[in-house]
């Protein structure tokens, strides 16, 4: 092989390594990038190439109409000229990400230029307008060079899972809507454009996108899909990515849950919402519990014992961003079931002699507003065993259970919650 041929193949090898290797790694295997989530009922709408003084305000109006949130990957050069739009995007609760300072392919730039002159420069411009520095990045055309995944480590690189090709006018509203309707699924990251000024795009293309998106957002609401920011989708998806050991543990626990329900003949209050299950049993506590309305439950009295459905609790935990949000959802769901519980205890012969509703739980904050009285468990072996059991249950059913057990451990104390049958009647039977 001649010197010229060696030089040619060396240059070819460098070009392939600099361009095609990262393309295969990111676009095919999603190495080092985020392109699709796993969160249930959530979809991330993303808009590139703006902000545009003609179309971005119309898009923001449309998103506000549908109470939708989105992520805007903006060009730093446009952000400089349209500071008011950047401020509006930020103030209306949308996420702002980086799409380079100019719409130039990373393949055509040196890696340190991509970082300093494109990403960092744009981030500084946006931070000067909003006070918040973006840390999410999408390269023009989704193209990265070999060094970007190293030099851009401080940014989360985002690609997409749905690309309806809305940058061309000839696609029209009808075809664009059909593509979006067929592609939008739970966890999708949708690539759209609120500007038609970049190379290869048609200037009026965003008008067709806006017309189609209006109808698509209506359909998404009907299908129970929520448009969210990319960071929200990423956070929810991270909670759903459980390790092998945790998945095996969850499956084993849910098998035990099904056996427990059958063994103790627990019955769901509402078949359509299995969050709460009941069984009639004798109260076995040595110390009587005095409820806020004067009713007293003593040893041997019948109570309707509550049990949270652990599979429902697990699903709620996957979709909750924090333990506080999980507790809030539980209180809301329980509140909707309280009238049915009250009716059940007052009309079903099986509950004729029960004195009230009773349970032991670590998720007791907020139960007082539902009418429950909250008591400490009497110190002793039963209290210690119950605490151990419920802490292990939290570890199993909560995606971040291990972390949660290390935080605010003093708040993870099981409590008795109880409400009398008479109080249920007063509060929940019209």
What confidence tens digit (pLDDT) does each residue in 247-282 have? Answer: 677 778 778 888 888 898 898 888 777 888 999 999
- pLDDT over threshold 80, residue 241: no
**What is the structure's pLDDT at 237?**
67
Choose, from 48, 49, 148, 166, the residue flagged as catalytic: 48
CA atoms 294, 297, 298, 302: torsion sign: positive
Task: Tell me if residue 193 is catalytic.
Answer: yes
User: Do 332 and 405 belong to one domain?
Assistant: yes
Task: Tell me if residue 214 is catalytic.
Answer: no
User: Do 231 and 249 belong to one domain?
Assistant: no
Confidence class for position 401, pLDDT limits 50, 70, 90: low
CATH of the domain at 101: 3.20.20.370
Backbone phi, then psi, for 72, in 5-degree steps? -110, 115
- pLDDT over threshold 60, residue 215: yes
User: Do 234 and 277 belong to one domain?
Assistant: no
- The model's pTM is 0.59
Determine what percent of the chain is predicted with pLDDT higher than 90: 52
Helix (H, G, I), strand (E, B) or coil at 254: helix
Choose, from 90, 94, 193, 307, the residue flagged as catalytic: 193
User: Do 256 and 188 belong to one domain?
Assistant: no
Tell me the C-alpha distance between 98 and 93, whole Å.
Answer: 16
User: Do 407 and 267 belong to one domain?
Assistant: yes
**What is the structure's pLDDT at 89?**
97
176-199 residue pLDDT tens: 999 999 889 888 999 999 999 998
- pLDDT over threshold 60, residue 158: yes
Place of tokens 């340190």: 112
**The total number of structural domains that make up the chain:** 2
Final residue belonging to a domain, choices 223, 239, 255: 239
User: Do 15 and 84 belong to one domain?
Assistant: yes
- pLDDT over threshold 60, residue 338: yes
Final residue belonging to a domain, choices 196, 223, 239: 239
Q: Helix crossing, 205-222 with 172-183: angle to 10°?
A: 40
User: Do 312 and 196 belong to one domain?
Assistant: no
- What are the C-alpha distances in Å from 93 to residues 67, 71, 137, 198? 11, 10, 18, 26
Which domain, by its residues, includes 85?
3-239
**What is the structure's pLDDT at 18?**
85
**What is the structure's pLDDT at 3?**
72
What do you get for the CA distance between the two ends of the chain, in Å? 93
Q: Which of 60-74, 299-313, 381-395 has the lowest mean pLDDT?
A: 381-395
Final residue belonging to a domain, choices 239, 269, 287: 239
């Amino acid at each position: 092989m001649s010197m010229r041929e060696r030089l040619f193949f060396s240059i070819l090898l460098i070009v392939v390594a600099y361009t095609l290797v990262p393309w295969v790694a990111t676009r095919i295997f999603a190495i080092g990038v985020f392109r699709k989530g796993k969160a249930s009922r959530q979809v991330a709408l993303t808009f590139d190439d703006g902000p545009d003084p003609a179309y971005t305000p119309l898009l923001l109006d449309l998103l506000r109409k549908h109470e939708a949130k989105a992520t805007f990957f903006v060009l730093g050069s446009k952000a400089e000229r349209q500071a008011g739009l950047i401020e509006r995007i930020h103030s209306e609760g949308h996420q702002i990400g980086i799409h380079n300072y100019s719409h130039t392919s990373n393949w055509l730039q040196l890696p340190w230029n991509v970082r300093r002159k494109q990403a960092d420069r744009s981030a500084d411009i946006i931070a000067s307008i909003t006070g918040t520095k973006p840390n999410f990045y999408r390269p023009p055309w989704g193209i990265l060079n070999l060094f970007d995944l190293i030099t851009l480590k401080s940014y989360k690189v985002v690609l997409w899972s749905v690309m309806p090709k809305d940058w061309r006018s000839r696609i029209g509203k009808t075809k664009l809507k059909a593509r979006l309707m067929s592609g939008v699924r739970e966890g999708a990251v949708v690539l759209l454009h609120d500007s038609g000024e970049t190379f290869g795009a048609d200037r009026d293309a965003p008008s067709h996108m806006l017309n189609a998106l209006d109808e698509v957002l209506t359909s998404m609401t009907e299908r129970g899909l929520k448009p969210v920011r990319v960071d929200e989708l990423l956070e929810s998806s991270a909670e759903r990515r459980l390790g092998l050991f945790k998945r095996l543990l969850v499956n084993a626990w849910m098998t035990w849950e099904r056996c427990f329900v059958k063994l103790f003949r627990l019955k769901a209050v509402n078949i359509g919402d299995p969050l709460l299950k009941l069984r009639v049993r004798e109260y076995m506590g040595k110390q009587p519990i005095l409820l806020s309305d004067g009713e007293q439950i003593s040893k041997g009295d019948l109570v309707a014992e509550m049990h949270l459905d652990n599979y429902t609790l697990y699903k709620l935990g996957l979709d909750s961003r924090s333990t506080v949000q999980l507790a809030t959802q539980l209180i809301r769901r329980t509140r909707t079931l309280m009238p049915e519980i009250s009716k059940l205890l007052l009309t079903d012969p099986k509950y004729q002699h029960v004195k009230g509703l009773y349970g032991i739980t670590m998720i007791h904050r907020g139960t007082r507003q539902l009418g429950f009285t909250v008591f400490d468990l009497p110190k002793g072996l039963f209290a210690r065993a119950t605490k151990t059991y419920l802490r292990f249950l939290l570890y199993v059913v909560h995606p971040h259970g291990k972390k949660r057990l290390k935080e605010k451990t003093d708040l993870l104390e099981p409590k008795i919650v109880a409400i009398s049958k008479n109080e249920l009647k007063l509060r929940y039977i019209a």
